[in-house]
Structures are given as structure tokens and as C-alpha cells.
Amino acid sequence: AQRVTQPEKLLSVFKGAPVELKCNYSYSGSPELFWYVQYSRQRLQLLLRHISRESIKGFTADLNKGETSFHLKKPFAQEEDSAMYYCALKARDNYGQNFVFGPGTRLSVLP
């Protein structure tokens, strides 16, 4: 079964501290993973995807197939990083592709 878990519903850190938002997945195929972010009163938007191996707004995420994880990290959190973060898995089945989202983690960066 395809599943994405984000164990923390809420994560609070102080400005300048490192932050790690955890994401684990279960999928029998070759996974494609994404992080989406939703800032307050804004729409959901793509933050980064593992195939690009990019760093966006200082965030990085490495796919660890052995641990089936795709944790999102940033060395120094900023107040403007406060938002809801969703980890997503692109899954394929007999019908095509769809996205499986985790429940989300609310990141609160304190001054």
C-alpha cells in the first residue's frame, strides 16, 4: 500500500536553530517524493522534489531508500519559514499516477 507518514503534527523551533521535518513512506515501486508548503492564507505550492536534488529557500531533502525516508532539513530556521509542510509521494498504479500526501507538519519558528 502507498502511504506517507509525518510523525510530528507540530514542530516549534527558535529562529536560527536547525530544523528537520520527518517524512517516511511505504511504496513498492520506485518512489518519487516531493515537499509542498502552505504559508498562512496562501495556496499550497511545491517546495522541492527529490529528483532535482536542489535547495530551495535553504531547504534540502535527501531520499533514503534504505530507511524509506525523505526528511526536510534547514540548518538555520527563519521566522518566514513558519507554515504547513506536506510530504508527498507520486505513486503509479494500473490507472496512472496520483499523489499521496502525508498529514502535514506545522512548523512554527519562534523569534
Partner 1 sequence: NAGVMQNPRHLVRRRGQEARLRCSPMKGHSHVYWYRQLPEEGLKFMVYLQKENIIDESGMPKERFSAEFPKEGPSILRIQQVVRGDSAAYFCASSPGLAAPDTQYFGPGTRLTVL
Binding residues for partner 1 (CB under 8 A): 4, 6, 32, 34, 36, 43-46, 49, 51, 86, 88, 90, 93, 95-104
Cell of 58: 535553504
Q: Which is nearer to partner 1, 47 or 77 (CB)?
A: 47
Distance in Å, CB of 72 to partner 1, minimum: 15
What are the residues whose beta carbons fall under 8 Å from the beta carbon of 107, sequence distance 6 or more? 11, 12, 13, 19, 21, 77, 81, 82, 83, 84, 85
- How far, CA to CA in Å, does 76 sit from each of 16, 71, 79? 4, 15, 10
Q: What amino acid is encoded at 25 in this protein?
A: Y
CB of 46 to partner 1, least distance (A): 6
Report, in Å, the least distance between residue 100 CB and partner 1.
7
Instruction: Name which of 27 and 86 has its Cβ closer to partner 1.
Output: 86
